[in-house]
Amino acid sequence: MKTGKQGVQKKTGLMIVLSSPSGGGKTTIAHRLLKRDKNVIRSVSCTTRKPRPGERNGRDYFFTTPARFKAMAARKQFLEWAKVHNHFYGTPRRWVVEQMERGRDVLFVIDVQGGKAIKKGHREALLIFLKPPSFSVLKGRLEGRQSEKKADLKIRLDNAKWEMREGRHYDYHVVNDRLGQAVSQVAKIIKKERQSGRHPSA
């Protein structure tokens, strides 16, 4: 909570992390959640990877070069950053803080490395991990995307095994078997945490 000019307490927004292995459905569920809950706004990450078909700069990611990304990291402009699948990803710090101070809940759709980094620096962060029904289902989803070369697909599958182990440390776990049900579960978790008062101001 923060106190405004009139002495009225102003509620700071939640810091919500939504993670899953590649192909786990975090992007799809995030889109559904954002349509459903207008107080939640998505944090847009910077990345050095190339845009996929349909992705737009500034909406899905801020696409940048490795050199510029490293310069931003050196100036500590990221809330968290990591190298994932041979590419850099990072969350711009200033924008997130401004949104939370306005009372908006900021949703981070990021990998497990990023989630752990945020939790380390912000213990009040809410971490939700999306689990596939099984590893074979996850593999089928990734192969069905046909957006990666065989070598890149292997990297993502190897990393997925590690991410599923590390995801056990998250606050909540949701199995993404039926999309609508998974979205409802995530929405209920956020509502519960808003009402709990366990998340102090950043």
How does pLDDT run across 78-129, given as a tens digit for each residue? 988 988 878 999 988 888 989 999 999 999 998 898 899 899 989 999 999 9
pLDDT at 10: 62
Q: How many domains are contained in the chain?
A: 1
In b/e form, how buried is each residue of 67-80, taking b as 16+ CB within 10 angstroms?
A: eebeebeeeebbbb
Ramachandran quadrant class, 118 (left: phi over 0; alpha: psi -120 to 50; beta: rest): alpha
Of 4 and 33, which is predicted with more confidence?
A: 33
For residue 42, tell me if it sits in a domain: yes
Residue 161 binned pLDDT confidence (cut-offs 50, 70, 90): confident
Question: In whole numbers, what is the pLDDT of the chain averaged over residues?
Answer: 86
Angstrom CA distances, 101 to 40, 95, 104, 156, stand at 13, 10, 7, 36
How many residues comprise the chain?
202
For residue 40, tell me if it sits in a domain: yes
Q: Which of 51, 53, 106 is nearest to 80 (CA)?
A: 106
Residue 147 binned pLDDT confidence (cut-offs 50, 70, 90): low
For residue 201, tell me if it sits in a domain: no
For residue 30, tell me if it sits in a domain: yes
> Which domain CATH number covers 47?
3.40.50.300
For residue 202, tell me if it sits in a domain: no
What's the CA gap between 131 and 145, in Å, rounded? 18
CB within 8 Å of 23: residues ≥ 6 apart: 132, 138, 139, 141, 142, 145, 156, 160
Phi, psi at residue 108, to the nearest 5°?
-100, 115
pLDDT at 201: 44
For residue 170, tell me if it sits in a domain: yes
Cα of 127 vs its chain's centroid, Å: 9
Structural domain boundaries, residue 57: 2-196
**Percent of the chain whose pLDDT exceeds 90:** 50
pLDDT at 202: 40
Query: Locate tokens 């500034």: which residue?
Result: 58
